Chain A
């Protein structure tokens, strides 16, 4: 059973990286997550939002859409979507250490971290049609308000 949902639309500005991860952390707080669960979710959200800003929109303006929901048994689902340039070679983008922006000192570890810190990661993208990242994490339902 879904106990809460959230939708957030925010401009693709780097100042919103901290804002997005803080909002999502606050969203899962009613389930009384462990410090590690909270840190994992914050990190994964930060990676996806940063990708949208740097790779999705680059120097262009645009919006990032975040949709999330929480179920009574502790399933947290989140979608982070942009309408940017999209990814032309998804398997390459998903491979560890690959970055399309080495000149910006990007490590190429964003997707690897999302994969490791969440229970599942699905990336849907087409060149010119934006990118949608869907992640799921099972939280231990310790204290449901």
Chain B
């Protein structure tokens, strides 16, 4: 799994590429936390446009980052969920705490 960072409108946009499972989660978690710590922005968009697969290890990783951003009084959004990822969000109840948008533009508009 790979990830890339972009700053836009006081927001850290993290794009995940590949499969987010237990094997990938700890490395991804560390990289995102370092970037949150380094950055000056409190808002966060998880861009899932290149995320092909996610299981419950991804839920834990996302809730952990969500809590971190909330503690910084920031907003946390997720975008571009494919149908499998959407189903995980739905079954786990993640979609009840995290607002999801079809694209980053729509998410940025709601900050």
Contacts and interface: CB of A to CB of B under 8 A. Distances in A.
Contact of B91 (A17, A18, A42, A113): A113
Interface string B15-29: 000010111010001
A40 B29 CA distance: 25
B67 to A, nearest CB: 10
Given A105-B63, A109-B59, A113-B56, A50 B83 contact: no
Nearest to A110: B56
* Most chain A beta-carbon neighbours within 10 Å: one of B22, B59, B61: B22
A108 B57 CA distance: 9
A46 interface: yes
A108 to B, nearest CB: 8
B60 A116 contact: no
B88 A43 contact: yes
* Most chain A beta-carbon neighbours within 10 Å: one of B63, B64, B84: B84
A14 B91 contact: no
A42 B53 contact: yes
Interface residues on B, range: 20 to 34
B95 interface: no
Contacts of A106: 56-57, 60
B31 interface: no
B23 A113 contact: no
Interface residues on A, range: 20 to 34
B83 A39 contact: yes
A46 B22 CA distance: 9
Interface string B33-53: 000000000000000000001
A47 B29 contact: no
Interface of B: 19, 21-23, 25, 29, 53, 55-57, 59-61, 63-64, 83-84, 87-88, 91-92
23 contacts: A15-B23, A18-B19, A18-B23, A35-B83, A36-B83, A39-B83, A39-B84, A42-B53, A43-B55, A46-B53, A47-B56, A50-B22, A106-B56, A107-B56, A107-B59, A107-B63, A109-B91, A109-B92, A110-B55, A112-B91, A113-B92, A116-B91, A117-B91
